[in-house]
Amino acid sequence: MPSFDISSKVDLQTLDNAINTVKKEISGRFDFRDSHVVIELNKKDYVVNLEADSDMKIKQMIDVIISRAMKQGIEASAFNFDKDAYPSGKVVKKEVAVTNGLKQDDAKKIVKLIKDSGLKVQAQIMDDIVRVTGKKIDDLQEVIAACRGGNLNLPLQFINMKS
């Protein structure tokens, strides 16, 4: 039976390349000259730590991160900017979490979307992926189209297509 997996992971090397590009661009910008700016990627926890002199500079850094990440092939929805920037002495710090794997709630939303579509496929949650199986590859392709158009606000990858 044909099947494929739905996941939501960001390649660590691609993310590292995007962050290094951001560091290089920020260091060359005139408006960041002679100011305290720190951009660090915590590879273990998939968190980008930002430090700057003001909240405005943090917002500019976020804009650069999004644009560089999208050029590297990382969707903007992979970054979680929900945490507010907080002052720490003379600097402002912000932690930006990066999506790595589907959470249980998100996986349930995907399975519900697939079941509501009325296609003759089975979807099951396996750790941080959702496996979809069906009798026809056409049904699986319709599931992919439904997930892309489902407004889930998740960076989804469709992997391991087997027929």
pLDDT digits (tens, 9 = 90+) for 27-41: 998 988 888 999 999
Name 154's Cβ contacts closer than 8 Å, sequence gap at least 6. 8, 77, 99, 102, 106
Cβ distance 125 to 107 under 8 Å?
Answer: yes
Show contacts of 134-139: CB within 8 Å, 24+ apart.
134/1, 134/2, 134/3, 135/1, 135/2, 136/2, 137/2, 137/163
Residues 68 and 141 in one domain: no
Final residue of a structural domain among 98, 115, 136:
98
Q: What is the pTM of this model?
A: 0.82
The number of distinct structural domains making up the chain is: 2
Task: Point out which residues pair with 158 in neighbouring strands.
Answer: 6
Residue 150: per-residue pLDDT: 81
Which residue shows structure tokens 């296609």?
Answer: 119
pLDDT of 1 > 90? The answer is: no
Task: Point out which residues pair with 92 in neighbouring strands.
Answer: 52, 87
Mean pLDDT of the chain: 91
Residues 75 and 39 in one domain: yes
From the list 51, 47, 135, 23, the residue with the least C-alpha distance to 97 is 47
Residues 83 and 119 in one domain: no
What's the CATH number where 52 sits?
3.30.70.990
- Percentage of the chain surpassing pLDDT 90? 56
Q: What is the average pLDDT across 80-103?
A: 90
Residue 106 CA: distances (Å) to CA of 7, 25, 94? 10, 34, 25
Q: Residue 44 is part of which domain span?
A: 12-98
N- to C-terminal Cα distance for the chain?
Answer: 6
Residue 58 pLDDT grade (very low, low, confident, very high; cuts 50, 70, 90): very high
Residues 110 and 142 in one domain: yes
Residue 132 pLDDT grade (very low, low, confident, very high; cuts 50, 70, 90): very high
